[in-house]
Each structure stands twice: as C-alpha cells, then as structure tokens.
Structure 1
Amino acid sequence: MPGVKLRFVIAISFWSLALTTSTKNFKQFTYNGFQQAELHLDGGATVHSNGLLQLTNTSNQVKAHAFVPHRLNFDSPSSLSFSTTFAFAMFPEIQAACGQGIAFVLSPSMDFSQATAGQFFGLFNSSTNGKSSNRIFAVELDSMQSIEFGDIDNNHVGIDVNDLRSMASVTAGYFNDVEKRNKRLNLNSAKPMQIWIDYDSVDTVVNVTLAPLGLPRPSKPLLSLPVNLSEVVRDTMYVGFSSSTSASASSHYVLGWSFSQGRQAQAQAQTLDLSKLPSLPDFGSKSRKLSRVSMVFVILTAAVLTSIALGMYLRWRKKFEETLEDWEQQYILQRFSYKDLYKATKGFKDKELLGMGGFGKVYKGKLPYTNVEIAVKKVSHSSGQGVREFVTEIACMGRLRHRNLVQLRGYCRRKGDLFLVYDYMVNGSLDKYLYEEGKPNLSWSERFKIVKGLASALVYLHEEWEQVVVHRDVKPSNVLLDANMNARLGDFGVARLYDHGSNPHKTHIVGTCGYLAPELIRKGRATTATDVFSFGITVLEVACGRSPLSFVGGQDYTVTDWVNDCWMRGVIVEASDPRLGGDYVLEEMKLVLKLGMLCSQPSPEARPKMRQVMQFLDGDATLPVTFPSGGNNTLPSFSPSYEAMFTSYSIDSVLIVGR
C-alpha cells in the first residue's frame, strides 16, 4: 500500500506540473485594468492604484516600457497569428507641442537600455534604427512628425519592422459604419480610443483598426499591410508597449489590454469589459502650467524650427513627391510610398518590366524589408485610363475577394503617375502561353482548369458580390496564372458597377477588338452578357490556340468562323490547338468548343448566364442540343452586318485596352 500511495502522489505531482506548464504556455490574456497584471515596467511606466497603466508623464525626453515578463512562442505557423486590442489615451502637456506616442511591440528582448527617447520611441537609437538584426515588429500611434523618418503627418498610425521609417502609415481615423464614411481621430485629444491589431500568418497580412472607445469595432480596417512576420520575429518573443516623450511631453495611458495567439483567435471577437476599465484623470489636472511668456516662447521656437525643418523636408521629398486628393479619403486601402515602390522595382528599370499595354507598363518588384514579390502597374495621366478609371480600379478591386481574381494590395500616386500594386503572378499572362515562342505548351488539363477558374471569377463578379461588376475587358492578356497555374482575372481599370436588379447606363465603348459583343458596339451598354461574349471568345482561344481575328486568304477570318466551319463538317474537334497533338479529353474538348460558341453568339438573349456556364463545366447541366440561333448542332456564321461593325467604327471610338 505505501508503494501504491507513493506512485499516486508522484502521478498527482506530474499532473500538477503538466497543468502548471500548460497554463504558462496558454497564449491568451485580458486585463481590464492592470491592478493584478504581471508586467515588467521600466522608465516612466507605472500602474496607478485604480489599475491605470501610465507609460510616460509630463517629463521631457523620457522613455517607458511595459511588457509581459514571459516569452511567448512564435515557432509555428499557427502560433505566429495573433490578435490584440487595447484601450489608450494620450494627454498632451500643451496642445501646441505634443509628446511622441505609444507603440505596440513584439521584441526578442526587454532590454531597451541603449534605446533613445523622442522620435525613437524608446525602441532604437540612431545607430540601431533600420537594422534587420533588431527583429522588432511595432504598430505606432505617433503624434509628432519626424522628418528624418518620412512621417506623413503629426497624427498617424504606422506599421514598423526593425525601423521607424514605417512600411505603411495612414492618418489616424476610423470607418463609421452608420454614416458609411471615414472620420478623422485626433490621437492627442485626451479622449480614450481602442485599437485592434490582427496578424494572419496564412494570408501574411497585418490589419489595424481604430475607433473611439465605446464604439463597436468598424467593419473596415484603417490600415492593411502584406508582411511575412515569420521572416522578422524569432521563435520566442516578448509582447508589450513602448512609449516616449520629446522636447515636449504627453502622458500616455493604457486602460486595458487583451491578447491571444493562434489563427482561430482572429475569428473570435477581442473584447474588453468597458465597465471595468479604470477611469482617466481630468485632462490638464497634472499638466505643467506655463506662463504666458513661456507659452509665447515655445510657440515661436516651434514655428522657427518647423519652418527650417519644412524647408529641409521639402527638398528631401522632392524626388519622391506624391499626390493626395480628397477622394482617396473615402477608400480604406493601403497607400504605398513612392520611395518603397521605387526601391522595389529597382527604379522602374526596364529589366524589371513584365509587360506593356494601353494603360502603361507593369513592373516586377520586391518590397523592402519583407521581400514580398509584387507587380506594379505604372499608369500615366496621358494614357487612355486617366484618374476616373484609376479610381474605379481602386474602389472595386480593393474590396473584391476571390481565389480567381488578382488581389490588389494597394496604390500610390505621384505627380502625373498612378501606381497599382498587385500580387505578383509568377507565371505571367495566359496570352503568352498561347502565342509566345519559347513558352511551354499548356496541357489540356491546365487549359480546362483555366476555363473553369475564369468562369468562377465571372460568376462571383456578376452574381455573388454586393454589386454587379462588369469587367468589360475579358481576354487572355488579362488572365494571370499563379504558381499553380490557376487563372486569376485582373485589370479592372474599365470595370463598371451597378446594383443588382438595375439596368446599366450607356458608356463609352471600351474593350479590345475581337472581344466586343455586337450589341455593345451598337448600343454602347456594357452588361454581364457582353462579358459572357468576351468569355466565349477567350474560351475558344484557349481551346484552339487562335487569336479572335486573323487574316486568311486576303479576308478577315474569326476564331468563331474556324470553329463553326469544323462543326458544320461534323469534325468540331479539328478546331482544337494542333500543339495539343490530340492529347485531350474528347468530351471536354467538345464541351469547351461548343460552350465557347454558345457564349459568343451575336444575340445576347441566346447566351447563357455565367452560373449556367459553370453548371455546364461542372457537369451539373447539359448543353442544349439545338442552340437558340441555329439548329442541328450548328451555328450560323457571323452575318456580314456584324463583321461590318468592326470596320464601320473608327479606331478612336473603341478604346483598345491591354496590359
């Protein structure tokens, strides 16, 4: 019996030890006030009796830190994802001259003894700032404009990696879901606010959302940045806050904080119990009183220094000058700095050029600090696209999310140039594989997958998104192929949106000859049916390896003519791309050829909807035995009147677009 008791005691001990270890490794906590919080504090940081965490006070050139004293594991993709939220307030000593701000930080160390206050936030000094060995990720709430770091203003939120030159920053504000517009916030207003920071290790994107304390979390983030933190953070990191003041001071407070790791944490609402948060002191109750003479001296000194700094800054920025207009405020989309895009594309050198189109050039790039590969479309005001279409692409593509669409990451504007930043598609555009010498031949399985992917994208645009999106320029050069040869439809510069159930308005005829539906040329009204027509022509190109328009025997000859001739002779599969060498699934080839002809019929009423197209491709529906405009499995050739449409319109009346 004694032996049994001993073994029981040992088992209980090991169970208790395992439970204790599990608790220490549990990566989630919520502090509604910091009375019972276990924190490592240094510098000016202190916890008040009511649980209010004060990072800095009204002392000048002070730094402060508050960190959870235990390292957290970030050694796996699942643990690398995290979500955090905290409530904060920033009390300026005087409104004319504020302190620096607060930064949420992931750091491999809690030793910031060599760091400097002021513009360095208590994180770096002049010799360490910008070094990749720092391994520090931070989100800064900055109330001073540091010219040397290229700060956009004195009231912004920035995402920093090893460097206080923010990878991305935006003026502080939030999206008001009631008013459906963005509203500005003043960080140094002494009013409590709440910030949410989420990192998804699968999508490799950081989202930052801000709002006045007490309002629900806005539906749109203030700032989004693609960044792979696995290349930044170490396997174990400390998490906490850093703050500092400059020649002028502010009191920086944190009222409550919640943090959780794991991708599933992002699906759970990060909440603070607002009723339990400590109260803030009355604004100005502990501020240092300045005499009238001192106040005047401070203001005059600040004005002189600002004038000097502004002159230096303007000269420094001239090379990288950008444009910011009012319309941009209504779209919450990442704005990249021209400097970063210039570095990413190696100065927009020709050797980085991916292609050219009617709207400008597309360059390959690699973002500084993160090494994320991007494609940058440089559009000139002198091109056919212009500002209006540029706005359309930003507004539209920035909110679309589908596996078969090219994701727009952000944009930049500078002088007469517009820049769109996309995910880089390693395999380039579809047209190169169909027509360019030296490119490997696409197998039939790859072609069939591309057709289905493109159809799926159009179903989403036409029926599944919040509005109807008419692409207006579906063609192989606008179909990009990712690393797995999946089709991604891109280039939404001439897209048009309208509400479900409403009728589209007439517009200028835009598109590319050979892909324009007859009724679009006649009536100038782009609809989902005109997209279906362009899809049909593209599908025939994929199957036949032929361009839409060619010149044979002294006459124009369309790809539909070619397929129709083969079909009427009872050998429709002879229209297939000879480079396939007959290596295809017979029934799939027949299906794609007939589907392409069905979608490209001259009458829009005879064309199927894209959802029907998807059903045909998935085998959930069967193609009609007799097409509406023809009989006995045949289709009539295009009438002379239709072919004449291409020649009766001058080239100026049709905007030919391309990549």
Structure 2
Amino acid sequence: MLFKAVLLVCLLVCLAASQDLSFRYNGFRSANLSVDGIAEITSSGLLRLTNDTKQEKGHAFFPNPITFKNTNGSVFTFSTTFVFAIVPEIAMELDTIYSSEFDDINDNHVGIDINGLTSEESAPAGYHTNSSGRLANLTLASSQPMQIWVEYDGTQKQLNITLAAINMGKPSIPLLSVALDLSPYLLDTMYVGFSSSTGSVLTSHYVLGWSYNMNGQAQALDLAQLPKLPRIGPKERSKFLTIGVPTISVSVVFIVISGLVYFIRRKRKFAEVLEDWERDYGPHRFKYKDLYIATKGFRDKELLGSGGFGRVYRGVLPSSKIEIAVKKVSHETRQGMKVFVAEIVSIGRLRHRNLVTLLGYCRRKGELLLVYDYMLNGSLDKYLYDQPRVTLNWSQRFRVIKGVASGLFYLHEEWEQVVIHRDVKASNVLLDGELNGRLGDFGLARLYDHGTDPQTTHVVGTLGYLAPEHTRTGKATTKTDVYAFGTFLLEVACGRRPIERREQAEDAILLDWVFSFWVKGEIIEARDQNLGPDYIPEEVELVLKLGLLCSHSVPEVRPSMRQVLQFLDRDIPLPELSSLGLSASGLTFAHPEGFSDYAMSYPSSMNMAFSHSSSVAESLLSGGR
C-alpha cells in the first residue's frame, strides 16, 4: 500500500494557537484529540483510525488550530514524527495498490502530494543506511510498526520525509528531500491530524505515538512507552496509507481538511485574483473570507444601498471589530473594471477629512470589493427627499455644503494630481456620526497632472448634474465638477432632486425652477419649506445664488472651488448675477454633439434624447424607459 504525506490547503475560520506550539503523545490514553467517523482511542492507548468495517473513514485532529505563517506570509519551520501500523482482520497476505490514474511509480512507495492525489515527488518505500547510504526496502504492508518524520525548513524552503523501521532510529539521509515553498499552499492557521478510510478489505489502522513542534525539532518519542498492537494471527500483513482513494486504501494526512469536496468548494468560494497593477498601488488588500464574515455572507439585512455600479453592505471586521462599508462592484463588463481601478488608484491615496476613506479592497472571481470607513448616518439624499423621517436643519446643511466644497478644493488644487470626481451629487455625499459631509464614490474619477489637459472623451455622470459643454465634447474638467456642485447646492438648499416629474413642465428642472424665483426677486422662496423658520436668510440666499453661478452655461464664468470656499466663508462678496449675463438660455441644456457612452445613474433610469432649450422639460419627462 502507499504512504503519502499530503499537503492540502485548509480554509478555516478560527483563532490561531501559539506559533511555537509543541506536543508529544507516547500513546493516546490521556490525549485531548478531536476524533470523528469510526476513529477512536482504545483502552490500551492506541489511536485506531479504522476498524473492521468496509467503506468507512475516521479522523483525528489536534483540537486547536496552529499558526503556520509569520507576518510576512512565510511558513514557519515545523517538524513531526509518528509511529504507525496496519493490522489486518484476516490472516492472509494482501498486495499493495498501484494506481496508474495517479501516476504512481509502483505499488510500494512514499509520495508528496499537494492539493491533489498525484505525487509531486515520490520514492520507493525504504530508508538509506547510515553506513553505505544505499536504499534498504521496507514493505508498507508488513503489519509491523514503522516511524516516519516530516520536517519543513521555513528558511531554506526544504521539505524532508524520512521513513524507518521501529527501534532503528532516524536515518541521517531522508527518503525524500524536496526544495518547496509551502507559503502559496498553506493559510495562516491550519489544523493538523490524521485522516483514514477503508475500502473493501477489512483492515485496522493504528497510530501508536505522535510528536509535533512548530519552530523547532519534534521531541523524540519514547518507544518503550508506546502501546502494543493487538495480535490477530500468525501472519499479519496489510495495506497502508494514501489519501482519498475510494477503493482499498487508507490515508494519513499531515495537514488535513474534512474532505476533498469540502476543500474544493471552500477554495472556489474564497478564491481571489491578483494582477500586476495591484502591486503598484498602496491600499490594503483584504481577504475575501474576512469580508464575507464581516457582512454575514453579504446578507440582505446588511445592505446599505445600491447604485449604478454595485451594492454596499455594512460589516464588522472579525479581528478588529471595526465597522466598515463594503461595496461590491460588478466587473462582468469592461466598464466595471475601469470603475474599480479608478477607485483604487485615486481614492486609495487621497486623505482629507471631507472625503470617504478607502480602507482597502479585495478581488475575487466575478467580484470586486472596496472597503470604506462606515458612515453611521448614510447618504445625504435620504435626509432631503420624499418626506424624510429626519430633516437636517439649516446649520447642518450649511456645514455639509462647506465640507464638500473643501473636499473638492483638495481634489482640484491641493493634491499631487488634479482629480475630477465627475459624479458630485447628494447621494454620493455620506454623513459620519457628527453629520459631517464626506464626498465618496470615486468610481468615475479621472486624474491628470497639474498644468496639463484632461483627456476624457466620454460623457459619464448623472442626469441633471452634467455641464452642457460636457455633453457636447465629452471632456470632463474641474469646471464640469463645479457645475455639478452648483446643482448639489440647489438640491441641498431646496430639498429637491435636479429633475422631477411635476404637473407643470417648467417646474421639472430644479435649475430652471430656482432661476424663475431669482427673476422675480424672490430667490429665497425656493428654499426647502421643511426648514421652517429656523434658518439664516443671508446664508440661504448665498447658497442659492452660488448654485446658479456654478451652473452657468459658460465654463469660464463659473468660479473655481477655491473661490467657492471664499464665497461661503464671506471672504469675498458674491458678484451680481445679472452682471454675468445669467439668463434662462444660459441655464438650459444644449444639444450634445458627439454624445456617446453615456453612463446615467439617475434612479428613474430614463433613456432620454437631449433636445433644444425650448423643450427640455418635455423631452426629459417623456423619455422612454
């Protein structure tokens, strides 16, 4: 029969035991092992993995998981030795098994298997004599106790396996010696133990003693204290040790999982993807299983919201107990991958009190995941529209406005590159525990060097926030961000979406509606009526007029975000809008020449065709779905 020291990956969620763990069992009478299946510890102290039943299996594990890796991901040195034997229940000689489907070299060998049943390296069962170094054969099916040593040098990345008959000591030359880095195959924490199964021949498989040491040499077993094997007859021979063969076979597994099927399912479930570009950008990469646990399997109960490019879930990291928000981005399309890369490259290195912090990311088959600081109070739009349960007062709204303006100023002028957000809107502004506004969702962001010309050529963004020149040329600039910020100012002050279905078509577009109040000299009446009497008229008027100024049809007339902050802080006075040529024609949408690749994330999902200013509202509201 075959013996294979099989190295398999075990995906287990558990707490790590000490990395310097050591134990020794000279017999198992008082051993605290976890056993299942038909495995048992006999009254004499033998670990009996199988008995005289057919087609059954047994497992025995050290009860606690063991830390196998250091902080840099390398596997520690470890060493183990155990004494085993096979006792047949019938008094006859049994042949060993040769399995051609697994490329066995013969019917009596030792092999090293990694994540499968085909040996990476193998050698005929035996040992090298210390005197001459020649190979002396051992018959694994001899029914006699034998001892095996499995040793891994974490520094040299070397795996040695040595086999010997009982009482002869450890040979100086290993039977198998392989240069092998186990780091890609082992997880941080693993279980160690034995797994055994019977086929159609009645056999009992025993382990007499076991010693293990992490970061050192396993203690020698006291052979005199090992329990005695039972006597079954005058001639005792059997078969020994391979993993997972469904016929006449038994396995002793050094690093084990409950079954190969379970392993394959878990491996596929938590498989991740790593590409070259990911090594160049700094955010922390999370393990998928940690995010899966944090979000309780991405349950619907943990869903915070969904947008054009993914769903966002609340989670709690299992180790640190930090609350996070996990955004699952589809990358079934090329656009989805672009969104993901944009967020990693841009927001992953941005740091500002009014920007949502990207903590890290994870990639996996079919899924891209972004991990953010959890914002306790959710997105701003929930406090503005559809008769919200909680209405922000004016001072809270004004603070949010100034915070978002500060964040945009950082993106446009203060960071090492110019960052164009391209999707500034209330639903992309999140509120922390103190109701401070933080701009998030950088999925459409673009970067370019200061002093150069941005090269964006496609129209992306949200209907109602798009600058007219953007729809004509496809080019996004800091001025197109300012235009969107102008719409944002109006929706915060008025408590209305940029485009809504209204009985009067002229009231459908927020920008035109606010402008109509300005024309009548009553612009402050456009404010959100939910504010009640508790507001500062001068600040409300300033925000509404600044919203119109930022939404001017001529990009050059719009202020920079530096100037916006100066207006909001009253460091400089806001210019008279009439002197800037502000008129109805300057506020409506223009015909989008060369319009292509339009990414619209407005909740109604309208498919619209732009028209000339005379029928903007009618076109927007009659667009087909």
TM-score range, shorter chain: 0.5 to 0.7
Residue 75 of structure 2 corresponds to residue 144 of structure 1: yes
Matching of residues 63-74 of structure 1 within 5 Å: none
Q: C-alpha separation between the residues in 2 aligned to 1:562 and 1:344?
A: 45
Matching of residues 426-575 of structure 1 within 5 Å: 426-553=376-503, 555=505, 557-575=508-526
Q: C-alpha separation between the residues in 2 aligned to 1:481 and 1:379?
A: 22
Q: Determine the structure 2 residue equivalent to 1:79.
A: none
Residue 583 of structure 2 corresponds to residue 636 of structure 1: yes
Answer yes or no: is the 8 Å Cα contact 1:477–1:658 preserved in 2.
Answer: no
Residue 355 of structure 2 corresponds to residue 405 of structure 1: yes
1:607 aligned partner, one-letter code: R
SS in 2 for 1:620: coil
Answer yes or no: is the 8 Å Cα contact 1:606–1:628 preserved in 2.
Answer: no
Task: Using the TM superposition, give the Cα deviation of residue 416 of structure 1 relative to its aligned residue in structure 2, in angstroms.
Answer: 0.9
Q: C-alpha separation between the residues in 2 aligned to 1:499 and 1:441?
A: 40
Aligned counterpart for 2:151 among listed residues 247, 254, 257: 247
Task: Using the TM superposition, give the Cα deviation of residue 139 of structure 1 relative to its aligned residue in structure 2, in angstroms.
Answer: 6.5
Gaps of 5+ in 1: 1-106, 119-124, 131-135, 148-244, 253-283, 285-291
Task: Using the TM superposition, give the Cα deviation of residue 300 of structure 1 relative to its aligned residue in structure 2, in angstroms.
Answer: 9.1
Query: Cα deviation per residue 1:451-480 (whole Å; 9 max; x = unaligned)?
Result: 000000000000000000000000000000
Task: Using the TM superposition, give the Cα deviation of residue 434 of structure 1 relative to its aligned residue in structure 2, in angstroms.
Answer: 0.5
SS in 2 for 1:551: coil
Q: Determine the structure 2 residue equivalent to 1:263.
A: none
SS in 1 for 2:562: helix
1:567 aligned partner, one-letter code: W
1:645 aligned partner, one-letter code: H
Q: Residues 616 and 301 from structure 1, CA distance in 2 versus in 1: closer, same or farther, beyond 3 angstroms?
A: closer
Task: Using the TM superposition, give the Cα deviation of residue 316 of structure 1 relative to its aligned residue in structure 2, in angstroms.
Answer: 3.6
Q: C-alpha separation between the residues in 1 aligned to 2:525 and 2:387?
A: 23
TM-score, normalised with respect to structure 1: 0.55
Out of 456-465 and 336-345, give the one that drifted further. 336-345
Q: C-alpha separation between the residues in 1 aligned to 2:319 and 2:602?
A: 32
Q: Determine the structure 1 residue equivalent to 2:332.
A: 382
1:570 aligned partner, one-letter code: G
Q: Determine the structure 1 residue equivalent to 2:555.
A: 604
Aligned counterpart for 2:22 among listed residues 94, 113, 116: 116
User: Aligned residues, how many?
Assistant: 400
Task: Using the TM superposition, give the Cα deviation of residue 117 of structure 1 relative to its aligned residue in structure 2, in angstroms.
Answer: 8.2
Query: Cα deviation per residue 1:390-419 (whole Å; 9 max; x = unaligned)?
Result: 111101111000000000011111111111
Q: Determine the structure 2 residue equivalent to 1:168.
A: none
Query: Cα deviation per residue 1:124-183 (whole Å; 9 max; x = unaligned)?
Result: x954559xxxxx9x9724432899xxxxxxxxxxxxxxxxxxxxxxxxxxxxxxxxxxxx
Task: Using the TM superposition, give the Cα deviation of residue 329 of structure 1 relative to its aligned residue in structure 2, in angstroms.
Answer: 1.5
Answer yes or no: is the 8 Å Cα contact 2:70–2:76 preserved in 1.
Answer: no
Answer yes or no: is the 8 Å Cα contact 1:359–1:384 preserved in 2.
Answer: no
Q: Determine the structure 2 residue equivalent to 1:655.
A: 599
2:567 aligned partner, one-letter code: F
Task: Using the TM superposition, give the Cα deviation of residue 552 of structure 1 relative to its aligned residue in structure 2, in angstroms.
Answer: 3.3
Q: C-alpha separation between the residues in 1 aligned to 2:77 and 2:291?
A: 21
Answer yes or no: is the 8 Å Cα contact 1:515–1:537 preserved in 2.
Answer: yes
Q: C-alpha separation between the residues in 1 aligned to 2:367 and 2:479?
A: 33
Q: C-alpha separation between the residues in 2 aligned to 1:584 and 1:113?
A: 62
Answer yes or no: is the 8 Å Cα contact 2:354–2:403 preserved in 1.
Answer: yes
Q: C-alpha separation between the residues in 1 aligned to 2:180 and 2:310?
A: 47
Matching of residues 155-166 of structure 1 within 5 Å: none
Q: C-alpha separation between the residues in 2 aligned to 1:539 and 1:548?
A: 10
Answer yes or no: is the 8 Å Cα contact 1:536–1:595 preserved in 2.
Answer: yes
Query: Cα deviation per residue 1:428-463 (whole Å; 9 max; x = unaligned)?
Result: 001111114442111000000010000000000000
Gaps of 5+ in 2: 1-15, 25-60, 79-148, 159-170, 183-241, 244-252, 604-625
Q: C-alpha separation between the residues in 2 aligned to 1:301 and 1:442?
A: 62
Q: C-alpha separation between the residues in 2 aligned to 1:504 and 1:251?
A: 50
Answer yes or no: is the 8 Å Cα contact 1:429–1:479 preserved in 2.
Answer: yes
Q: Determine the structure 2 residue equivalent to 1:577.
A: 528
Q: Which has the higher helix share?
A: 1
Out of 570-579 and 313-322, give the one that drifted further. 313-322
Q: C-alpha separation between the residues in 2 aligned to 1:416 and 1:146?
A: 36
Q: Determine the structure 1 residue equivalent to 2:176.
A: 297
TM-score, normalised with respect to structure 2: 0.58
Task: Using the TM superposition, give the Cα deviation of residue 653 of structure 1 relative to its aligned residue in structure 2, in angstroms.
Answer: 3.8
Q: Residues 489 and 563 from structure 1, CA distance in 2 versus in 1: closer, same or farther, beyond 3 angstroms?
A: same
Q: Residues 512 and 141 from structure 1, CA distance in 2 versus in 1: closer, same or farther, beyond 3 angstroms?
A: closer
C-alpha RMSD of the superposition: 3.9
SS in 2 for 1:456: helix
Residue 268 of structure 2 corresponds to residue 318 of structure 1: yes
**What is the percent sequence identity of the aligned residues?**
52
Task: Using the TM superposition, give the Cα deviation of residue 336 of structure 1 relative to its aligned residue in structure 2, in angstroms.
Answer: 1.0
Q: Determine the structure 1 residue equivalent to 2:292.
A: 342
Query: Cα deviation per residue 1:329-374 (whole Å; 9 max; x = unaligned)?
Result: 1122211111111111111111111111110111111111222111
Q: Determine the structure 1 residue equivalent to 2:40.
A: none
Q: Determine the structure 2 residue equivalent to 1:619.
A: 570
Matching of residues 356-375 of structure 1 within 5 Å: 356-375=306-325
Q: C-alpha separation between the residues in 1 aligned to 2:266 and 2:566?
A: 58
1:584 aligned partner, one-letter code: Y
SS in 1 for 2:515: helix
Q: Residues 309 and 559 from structure 1, CA distance in 2 versus in 1: closer, same or farther, beyond 3 angstroms?
A: same
Task: Using the TM superposition, give the Cα deviation of residue 301 of structure 1 relative to its aligned residue in structure 2, in angstroms.
Answer: 10
1:140 aligned partner, one-letter code: T
Answer yes or no: is the 8 Å Cα contact 2:483–2:551 preserved in 1.
Answer: yes
1:585 aligned partner, one-letter code: I
2:484 aligned partner, one-letter code: S
Q: Determine the structure 1 residue equivalent to 2:129.
A: none
Task: Using the TM superposition, give the Cα deviation of residue 328 of structure 1 relative to its aligned residue in structure 2, in angstroms.
Answer: 1.2
Out of 573-582 and 528-537, give the one that drifted further. 573-582
Answer yes or no: is the 8 Å Cα contact 1:375–1:422 preserved in 2.
Answer: yes
Matching of residues 48-63 of structure 1 within 5 Å: none
Q: Residues 297 and 609 from structure 1, CA distance in 2 versus in 1: closer, same or farther, beyond 3 angstroms?
A: same
Task: Using the TM superposition, give the Cα deviation of residue 385 of structure 1 relative to its aligned residue in structure 2, in angstroms.
Answer: 3.8
SS in 2 for 1:514: coil
Q: Determine the structure 2 residue equivalent to 1:589.
A: 540
Task: Using the TM superposition, give the Cα deviation of residue 572 of structure 1 relative to its aligned residue in structure 2, in angstroms.
Answer: 1.2
Answer yes or no: is the 8 Å Cα contact 2:323–2:374 preserved in 1.
Answer: yes
1:401 aligned partner, one-letter code: R
SS in 1 for 2:346: helix
